[in-house]
Amino acid sequence: MRILLIEDTEGLGEAIKDHLDDEGYAVDWVKTLWSAESCIKTTCYDLVMLDLMLPDGNGLNLLLDIRRNKIQIPVIIMTAKDQVTDRVKGLNAGADDYLVKPFDLDEMAARVAAVCRRYSGNPNPNIVIGNLEVNLTEKVVYLSDSKVGTHITESGQFLKFLSIIQDSCLVDLDSKKGLYAFGAEIESNTVEVYISRLRKKTG
């Protein structure tokens, strides 16, 4: 799943990106509203993580533009503004969740996963395809109730992606866009390699 992280604080942005990378997400990190707007215009994201106080303006304006243009993408606000009125304002503007800084990175990852599941149409962390079960919380795959050694990174992340769009038609290029951040090196046969690995592990 591909995430747009909008955060201008260097240390915090790096910590969030590293943590989400470890969770198997593809993260594009930008530090200004201008860069974020360019990304949203050219790339399909599964989630936006939005800081409010940015060098070139208030992130709330970007959120309002996203909703005004009817862009169907979940948004999690991250801000040091912890007043109830601030949270209400953000949620009423169209945010799907609200994280008050400083926050625990594991809790952040859990909220990201929960929001993504809701938008995929299935809030259940267990996705079943025949005798395969993908546990998005434990990040493992079960085959006929037996654990398969597939952590949801690399080929496992691709299985997670496939499980969420199981009723859709998979287009090779679109699948790669959902798995990788900007700057990642992608081989032409990446999808085929992942499928081959999954078939070996799951039979």
Q: Give the span between the Cα atoms of 39 and 152, in whole angstroms.
A: 26
Residue 124: DSSP 8-state: -
pLDDT digits (tens, 9 = 90+) for 165-189: 555 545 444 444 555 555 555 556 6
On the 0-12 / 13-18 / 19+ scale of CB atoms within 10 A, 117 is: middle
Assign domain 2-119 to a CATH class.
alpha beta
Q: Give the span between the Cα atoms of 159 and 137, in whole angstroms.
A: 14
pLDDT digits (tens, 9 = 90+) for 106-161: 999 999 988 988 886 656 667 677 777 777 666 677 777 777 765 555 544 555 55
Assign domain 126-202 to a CATH class.
mainly alpha
77 touches 95 (CB < 8 A): yes
Kindly list the domain boundaries of the chain, sorted by start residue: 2-119, 126-202
The answer for 70, left when phi > 0, alpha when psi is -120 to 50, beta otherwise, is left
pTM of the entire predicted model? 0.68
